[in-house]
Structure 1
Amino acid sequence: MKVLVVDDEILSVELLREALTITGYQVDVRENGSDALAYLRDHGDCRIVITDWEMPDMDGIELTRRIRQETLGHYVYIIIVTSRGGTANVVEGLEAGADDFMSKPFHPSELEVRLRSGQRLMSLEASNMTIFALAKLAESRDPETGAHLERVRGYSRALAAHMATGGPYSDLIDATFIENIYLTTPLHDIGKVAIPDYVLLKPGRLTDAEFEIMKMHTTEGAATLNSVLEVAPHASFLRVARDIALCHHERFDGSGYPRGLKGTDIPLSARIFCLADVYDALISKRVYKAAFSHDVAKNLILEGEGTQFDPHVTGAFVQLEETFRAIVTSQVDP
C-alpha cells in the first residue's frame, strides 16, 4: 500500500520513510500541503497520508480539511503526527477529519499498529464497494424489490445476533459473522443474471423444465463469487456470500438443491438466511399468491422445523417474532 508522508523536516521524513519501508509500504514525500493535494489528485492508489501538524503555508489541520473537501473517489486515511498534547488539540484534529494521531517522537511498532487500523478501514471500504457493485448487477435482472433485500438482511442479522448469545452455534458466531451475513445477503440471488428472461420474468408458476433452469441460479451465483474469491482469497465476506448464494435453497432434511446437503453440512449462514428468505416470501405478494399474515407465515415455518429449517434457527425466529414484525413495518411493500 502506498503512503504519502507530508513534512518539511528532513529528519522526520527519513525516520518515517525508514520505518514504513521496513514494514513493506511504498513511500512518497511532499514537503507542503499544496503539493500533497496535487499528488493525491494524480495518484488514486494512495490511500494513507501521514502529515505533520506544523508546516509552513498549509499546516496538517488545514491539509486534512482540504483532503476531506476533495472529490477523490475513495477514502483517504489520515494520521497527524504532532508534539502537541491535550484534549483540545485532539478535538481540533478530529473535527478537521483526522482518523488518528501519533506523538513525536514515535515508535516504529506504534506506527505499524496505527497503519494496520487504516488498512482495516480500507479493506472494509473495498468489501462494501464490491458488494454494492455485485448487488447492482443482480438488481438489474432480479424482479425482487429493494425493500425485500433490506428486510431479509435485517432478519438475518437479528437471527445471527440472537444465536450468538447461546445455544450450540454461539461459538461459531462472532461480530464478523454477524456483519458479513448482513452485508452479503443482498447477493443471494446474483446467479439470476444467468437465467433467461422467459424463465426469470415469467408471470406465473414455472413448469418442471423451467424450474430446473431456475435452480441453476444457485450454482451460477456461487461460480461468480468464487471467481472474485480467486483474486481476493482472504475476503471472508465473499465466502459467506458464496455459501449463501449456493446453499440458500438447501433443506435441513437433505431434500433441497443444488447438492441435497443435509443438517449441519449446510453452511450456518445459509441455514439462517433460508428461514429469513422464506419468511419474507410468505408475507409478500407474488404474481402467483397473496401476501400471508405473520401468523400464517409463522405456522408454515414451524411446520418446516427439522425438514426445511434448522430447529435452532426456528427457535431463534420464535424468540424474535416482534423483531421480525418491526423490520416489516420499517420497510415498504411487504
Structure 2
Amino acid sequence: MNRQKTIMIVDDTEMNIDILVEALNEEYELIVAINGLEALELIEEQKPDLILLDIMMPEMDGYEVLKKLKKNQNLETIPVILLSAITDSDSKNKGFSLGAVDYVTKPFEIVEVKARVKTQLRLEEARLILESQNIILEEKVKERTQLIERTNSAAIYCLAALAETRDPETGEHIKRTQEYIRELALELRKNEKYKDILTDEYIELLYKSAPLHDIGKVGVKDSILLKPGKLTAEEFDEMKKHTTYGEESLMVGIKELGEESFLTLAKEIALTHHEKWDGSGYPMGLSKEEIPISGRLMALSDVYDALISKRVYKEAFTHDEAKNIILESRGTHFDPDIVDAFIKREGKFIEIMERFKGC
C-alpha cells in the first residue's frame, strides 16, 4: 500500500490555512506552519512531500524560505508551490527562478489547488522513480564494466599460460616483470616528458598487458626454446621470431575487438620489448623514441629479471650484479630515463624479486 503523502502549508493567515486544510486533509497528511522560521524547523524534522508556501509573510517571506530550502542538499528536491495575491509576472518569474514548481494566486480556487497539488506530487513520484532507475542502471553499468575488466584480465592470463606451458620458467617471470614495469612507469611519469603519457589508466593497462610480452614463444620449437646451452646463430634468429609471432597472434584478437582493445598495447609490447636504444635490437632495429615507451619499459624489466633468474645455462646474478650491467647499458640497450627510474626504484625491484622468488 502506498504511503499517504505529506503536505506542508505555510501561511500567516488563519483563514487561508483553514481553506487549504479543509480542501486537502482527506487525501493527505498535513503539517501547518504560520511563518517561515517555524516552517524551516518543521521541514528539517518531518520533510514533507510538497510545500504550499505563502510569499508575503512577516520576518521571513516565502522567497527567503525558498532560497534556504534550495541551499540545503537534503531539502532542495522538495517541490514548492508558491501562494500569493500578487499576480504580476515579475513576482512569478522570481519565484520560478528560485526553484518553485508552480504558482497559485489568491483567492484560491479549491479545484485548481487540488489539481496542481496532485500534478506536482505525481511529477515528484515520477522523478523519484526515474532517479531510482538511474541508480540501478548506473550500478548495472558498473557491474558490466567490472565484468569486462575481469574478462580481459582472465583472457590475458589464459594467453600467457600458453607460453608458460612451453617454458616452465615463464610463470615466475610473468609475475615479476608485471610488477617491475608498473614500478618503472610510476617513477618515470614524474619526469615532465612522460606525465601526460603515463596516466593511471595507461599504467594499469600496461600492467595488465605485460604478461603477454612473450606469448610468441608458443611458436618457437622446443629444441630451441628449451635448449640448455648457447644458441647457434641460426637458432637465435629463430628465437628472435617470437616477437613477430606474438604480434601476429595478438592481431587476430585485435581484428575482432578493434584497435582500442587492451590487446593493442599487449601487441606493441610483444613486438618491441627486444628493441634497443641504440638501434641494435630486433626485430625492426628501432632506436630511441622510435621504440614505444611500453617496449622500452618492458626491455629493462625483462632483462633485469633474466639476469637475476637461474637458467639451465647460467646461475642467477645478484641484484647488484644485474644493476651494474643495466647501468653499463644506459644509453645503448636501455633508455637513459628508464635506467634512472630503475635506480630510484631499485628497492622496490628487490622487494618484488624476494616476494615472487618462490612462485
Shift in alpha-carbon separation, 1:167–1:318, aligned structure 2, 3 A: farther
Q: Partner of 2:198 in structure 1?
A: 173
1:136-151 to structure 2, matched below 5 A, reads 136-151=161-176
Residues 215-258 of structure 1 show CA distances to partners (whole Å, capped at 9, x for unaligned) of 11000011101110111115542111111110110001111000
Corresponding letter in the other structure for 1:141: R
Partner Cα separation in structure 2 for residue 121 and residue 182 of structure 1: 17
Partner Cα separation in structure 1 for residue 302 and residue 339 of structure 2: 13
Gaps of 5+ in 1: 1-102
Q: Residue 289 of structure 1: CA displacement?
A: 1.8
Partner Cα separation in structure 1 for residue 167 and residue 329 of structure 2: 26
Whether 2:324 is the aligned partner of 1:324: answer: no
Alignment coverage as a number of residue pairs: 233
Partner Cα separation in structure 2 for residue 196 and residue 133 of structure 1: 21
Residues 175-196 of structure 1 show CA distances to partners (whole Å, capped at 9, x for unaligned) of 1211112112211111111111
Q: 1:205 aligns with which of 230, 234, 245?
A: 230
Partner Cα separation in structure 2 for residue 265 and residue 236 of structure 1: 22
Partner Cα separation in structure 1 for residue 136 and residue 271 of structure 2: 41
Contact preservation (8 Å) 1:143, 1:201: no
Whether 2:210 is the aligned partner of 1:185: answer: yes
Corresponding letter in the other structure for 2:284: R
Q: Partner of 1:261 in structure 2?
A: 286
**Structure 1: which 4+ aligned runs deviate by more than 6 Å?**
none
Q: Partner of 2:265 in structure 1?
A: 240
Q: 1:293 aligns with which of 297, 318, 325?
A: 318
Q: Partner of 2:129 in structure 1?
A: 105
Partner Cα separation in structure 1 for residue 135 and residue 260 of structure 2: 26
Shift in alpha-carbon separation, 1:164–1:112, aligned structure 2, 3 A: farther
Residues 40-76 of structure 1 show CA distances to partners (whole Å, capped at 9, x for unaligned) of xxxxxxxxxxxxxxxxxxxxxxxxxxxxxxxxxxxxx
Q: 1:155 aligns with which of 171, 180, 183?
A: 180
TM-score (norm 2): 0.61
Q: Residue 104 of structure 1: CA displacement?
A: 4.4
Contact preservation (8 Å) 2:254, 2:261: no
Residues 128-180 of structure 1 show CA distances to partners (whole Å, capped at 9, x for unaligned) of 12112101211111232422221111111111111223331111011121111
Q: Partner of 1:71 in structure 2?
A: none
Q: Partner of 1:304 in structure 2?
A: 329
Q: Partner of 2:146 in structure 1?
A: 121
Contact preservation (8 Å) 1:188, 1:248: yes
Partner Cα separation in structure 2 for residue 322 and residue 125 of structure 1: 30
Q: Residue 293 of structure 1: CA displacement?
A: 1.2
Contact preservation (8 Å) 1:250, 1:261: yes
For the aligned residue pairs, the C-alpha RMSD in angstroms reads 2.1
Bigger Cα displacement from structure 2, 121-130 vs 187-196: 121-130
Corresponding letter in the other structure for 2:229: G
Q: 2:276 aligns with which of 251, 254, 271?
A: 251
Aligned to 1:257, the other structure's residue is in SS state coil
Q: 2:220 aligns with which of 195, 211, 228?
A: 195
Contact preservation (8 Å) 2:163, 2:170: no
Q: Partner of 2:86 in structure 1?
A: none
TM-score (norm 1): 0.66
Corresponding letter in the other structure for 2:291: I
Gaps of 5+ in 2: 1-126
Q: Partner of 2:92 in structure 1?
A: none
Q: Partner of 2:64 in structure 1?
A: none
Q: Partner of 2:102 in structure 1?
A: none
Greater Rg by CA: 2
Contact preservation (8 Å) 1:152, 1:273: yes
